[in-house]
Amino acid sequence: MMIKKRNSNEKKHEFDDQKHVVLGEWRNKPVAIKYALRNTRLADELLREAGFYHKLKHLQGTTIPLLYYAVELFEGQHFGLCLEPVGRSLPAIVIQCRLAGKVFEGRYAMRERLLQALVRIHEAGVGFALSNPIDVCYDEDTDRLCIVGFSLANENPTNRNKSFDEATIPDNCDW
């Protein structure tokens, strides 16, 4: 299939440089579809992310969501990833608790689980720095913690032997 590149004089829509996530259903399963306009930096990031999901296939369904497929959408104008939905971002849950005047009880246990997940990813040879806490999702019904958003990851065989003690979570993660 031939992909038409946008001419520089064509009108650019305000959402062209954004990634979108929609929830839906595929083969009677709930799915989350991340997509971006084709031939943009964000679509390239999603394509890279698909490569890392493939490399981390042994962690899919546990540490990271299942990737069902990567696909062109809307007559080839967009590129997307069809993923298993994995709850809400952990920071959003913490904020909701705070707004309700509650304390998120599991925050220290979550940090331990998050460190273990980062170590598993590093042991697989993928360099992943948790620069954005929104890349951590939590499903309260299943008590499952997942890392998402591998567009900025890199192949990093030097991290294969990274120990649990050396894995870090940024200081801005106050949960």
What domains can be seen in the chain, in order of their start residue? Answer: 20-83 (3.30.200.20), 88-161 (no CATH)
Tokens of 23: 């929830």
Which pLDDT belongs to residue 25? 85
Question: Under 8 Å CB-to-CB from 49, ≥6 apart: which residues?
Answer: 34, 81, 149, 150, 151, 153
Q: What 8-state DSSP symbol labels residue 7?
A: P
Report the candidate in 114, 112, 94 with the shortest Cα–Cα distance to residue 103: 94
Instruction: Count CA atoms within 13 Å of residue 15 on its CB side.
Output: 7
Query: For residue 111, what pLDDT band results from cuts at 50, 70 and 90?
Result: confident
The answer on pLDDT for 34 being more than 60 is yes
- Which residue do the tokens 């939590």 mark? 138
pLDDT of residue 11: 37
Q: Which two tokens stand for residue 104?
A: 């998120």
Distance between CA atoms of 35 and 23, rounded to whole angstroms?
A: 11
d(CA 166, CA 169): 10
Residue 22 Ramachandran class (φ > 0 left, ψ -120 to 50 alpha, else beta): beta
Give the Cα separation of 21 and 3 in Å (integer).
Answer: 22
Angle at 124 between CA 167 and CA 171, to 5 degrees: 20
Between 113 and 11, the more confident residue is 113
- Model pTM greater than 0.85? no
Q: Which residue has the tokens 């971002």?
A: 89
